[in-house]
Amino acid sequence: MRKIFEWYATGAYSIREVGLMARNIGLVHPRSQAKVPNSSIHRILRNRVYTGEFEWLGVVYKGRREALISKDLWLMAQDVMDGRVDARIPRTGGSAYAFAFSGLVSCGHCGCALTAEIKKGRYIYYHCTQYKGKCPEKYVREEVMAEQFAAILSRLKSAPGIHDLIVRALKSSFATEREEHELAVTRLTGEIDRLGKRIEAVYTDKLDGKISAEYYKRASSQWQDEMRRCHDELRRYQEASEAYMNEGVDLLILARDAEEIFQKHEGASRKRLLNLVLANCTWKDAQLSANFRKPFDLILENTTSQHDPKSGDGYDDAGKENWLGN
Per-residue pLDDT reduced to its tens digit, 5-35: 888 877 767 888 888 888 888 887 778 888 8
pLDDT band at 307 (very low <50, low <70, confident <90, very high): low
3-state helix/strand/coil string of 100-152: CCCCCEEECCCCCEEEEEEECCCEEEEEECCCCCCCCCCCEEHHHHHHHHHHH
User: How confident is the model at residue 310, as a pLDDT?
Assistant: 52
What does the pLDDT read at residue 175?
63
pLDDT score recorded for residue 59: 75
User: Looking at residue 197, what is its pLDDT?
Assistant: 92
> Which of 79-83, 89-93, 181-185, 191-195 holds the top average pLDDT?
191-195
Is 276 a residue whose pLDDT tops 90?
no
Which among 143, 137, 132, 75 has a CA at the least distance from the CA of 284? 137
At residue 215, does pLDDT exceed 80? yes
Could you tell me which residue, 283 or 300, shows the higher pLDDT?
283
Across 139-148, 228-237, 274-283, least confident range: 228-237
Report the pLDDT value the prediction gives residue 89, as an integer from 0 to 100. Answer: 45
